[in-house]
C-alpha cells in the first residue's frame, strides 16, 4: 500500500489568471484533487470523493512557467474516511511572465500546505490490501 503520492507539473500561460502571470489558487487545489485521487486508488481501488478541506494556506505566489511538486499523504484511515495532508513546492521558477528564462531553485519553496478528508464508500473499496 502506498500512502504517498507526488505529481510534478508545469504551470502554463493558460493557468495564469491574474496580472503578472499569477496562477489562480483554484488551480493548485485541482492538483491536490489529483494527488488525493491517486492516493485513494492505490489505497482503496476507487477514486472516492473529496469531502472537505480542514485547512488551506497559500504561502507564496505561483506564476506561469513555474514547475511545482504536489505531494499528499494519507495520515489516518477510518472505515470510509481518509485524512490527508498536502504540500505544494515550487522547484523551478519562471524568470518573468512571457519570458522563456527559468531558474532551478536551490531549495524548493513551499507555496501551499493543506489538509482534508476524502471518503470511499465501503462497497467501492476493492483493494483488500489497503486500509
CATH number at residue 66: 3.10.129.10
91-109 as b/e, with b when 16 or more CB fall inside 10 Å?
ebbbeeeeeeeeeeeeebe
Task: With respect to residue 89, please indicate whether it lies within any of the assigned structural domains.
Answer: yes
Q: What is the mean pLDDT of residues 76-100?
A: 90
Instruction: Report the pLDDT value the prediction gives residue 19, as an integer from 0 to 100.
Output: 85
* pLDDT (tens digit per residue) in 33-49: 999 999 999 999 999 99
The predicted pLDDT at position 129 comes to 53
In a domain, 130, yes or no: no
Confidence of residue 131 (pLDDT cuts 50, 70, 90): very low
User: Would you say residue 129 lies in a domain?
Assistant: no
CA distances from 19 to 29, 68, 115 (A): 20, 20, 28
Q: What is the pTM of this model?
A: 0.89
81 within some domain: yes
pLDDT in tens, 56-68: 999 999 999 999 9
Tell me, yes or no, whether 35 lies in a domain: yes
Q: Which domain holds residue 83?
A: 4-124
Q: Which of 80, 76, 54, 64 is nearest to 22 (CA)?
A: 64
pLDDT tops 90 at residue 97: no
Check residue 101 and give its pLDDT.
Answer: 84
In a domain, 30, yes or no: yes
61 lies in some domain: yes
124, containing H or E segment? none
Q: Which of 9, 11, 7 is nearest to 63 (CA)?
A: 11
Amino acid at each position: 500500500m502506498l500512502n504517498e503520492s507526488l505529481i510534478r507539473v508545469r504551470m502554463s500561460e493558460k493557468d495564469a489568471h491574474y496580472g503578472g502571470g499569477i496562477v489562480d489558487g483554484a488551480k493548485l487545489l485541482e492538483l491536490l484533487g489529483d494527488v488525493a485521487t491517486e492516493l485513494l486508488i492505490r489505497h482503496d481501488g476507487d477514486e472516492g470523493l473529496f469531502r472537505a478541506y480542514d485547512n488551506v494556506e497559500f504561502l507564496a505566489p505561483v506564476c506561469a512557467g513555474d514547475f511545482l511538486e504536489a505531494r499528499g499523504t494519507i495520515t489516518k484511515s477510518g472505515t470510509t474516511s481518509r485524512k490527508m495532508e498536502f504540500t505544494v513546492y515550487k522547484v523551478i521558477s519562471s524568470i518573468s511572465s512571457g519570458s522563456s528564462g527559468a531558474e532551478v531553485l536551490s531549495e524548493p519553496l513551499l507555496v501551499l500546505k493543506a489538509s482534508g478528508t476524502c471518503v470511499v464508500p465501503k462497497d467501492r473499496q476493492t483493494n483488500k490490501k489497503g486500509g
